[in-house]
Amino acid sequence: MLLIIGSINVKLERVKLLDKIRLGINIDHVATVRNARGGKHPDPVIIAKQAEYCSVDNITAHLREDRRHVKDTDIKNLLNELKIPLNFEMASTDEMVNFAVENLPYACCIVPEKRNELTTEGGLNLIENKTIFKNILKLKKAGILCSLFLDPDINQIKIASELGVDAIEIHTGKYCDAIDNNEIQAELEKIKVSAKYAKSVGLDVHAGHGLNYHNVVEIAKIIEITELNIGHFIIGEAIFSGIEIAIKKMRKIINDARVNSF
């Protein structure tokens, strides 16, 4: 009898976690296309509103220090026009913290940023970062939810929990880039262990970077992960099928994967 009750409790806990998976769409590369020619087309705010219409849970936008894609006005327009939360990706700099506090997005995700990188290459190194704690305090004091973009590394996640952030976003890039099956499974196992640990110390667990229709399946099965943030692939697929079809297909895939994790 105790075994049966225990099994029921485990299943109920898994159902509870199942209900919490969210899908966020990163619109940075709509701005990349716009900036290639200058002007206002295509407008990332319009794509964000179409994604909102498709019932995504949040919009993510990264205001880089060099403004290579998203601009200050894009962030302000998103905040003015969206009814769903904006997840503001930013480097841990005084300029970006001040911008966030002035404009008050729902959430900020602090990411590492290198001027010459094509895209974010990995997670933050919290051991070497001496300024991030004061920036986290400023964001949280302003009422902004704060998350950190981290590699699937228990040591980094432990420090994140000690810093008092609300969530982490696990960098899935190495898993997505892996080709050899043994490497894929090794990276996937790191993500699973890290997600479980992060949840156990009270952190909300998000994941993103490099996810597509195929590799997202195993990530969506990890019940501790409550949010997936996907950008480049969705925007690329929208060229072929339109943003609505691309989002709805991704939503179905991750929902099906979560159900099949039982």
Q: Is position 95 annotated as part of the catalytic site?
A: no
DSSP three-state, residue 246: helix
CA pair distance 44, 70, nearest whole angstrom = 8
Exactly one of 113, 206, 209, 224 is catalytic; name it. 209
- Are 94 and 138 within 8 A, CB to CB? no
Which entry of 29, 62, 69, 171 is annotated as an active-site residue? 62
Distance between CA atoms of residues 155 and 151, nearest Å: 10
Q: Which of 29, 69, 89, 113 is catalytic?
A: 89
Is-catalytic flag, 244? no
- What is the 3-class SS of 9-35, one letter each residue? HHHHHHHHHHCCCEEEEECHHHHHHHH
Our answer to whether residue 89 is catalytic in this structure is yes
Helix (H) or strand (E) holding 224: none
Backbone angles phi, psi at 227, to 5 degrees: -150, 135
How far the first Cα of the chain sits from its last, in Å, is 21
Q: How far is CA 149 from CA 37, 121, 170, 207, in A?
A: 31, 11, 6, 9
Residues serving a catalytic function are 62, 89, 209
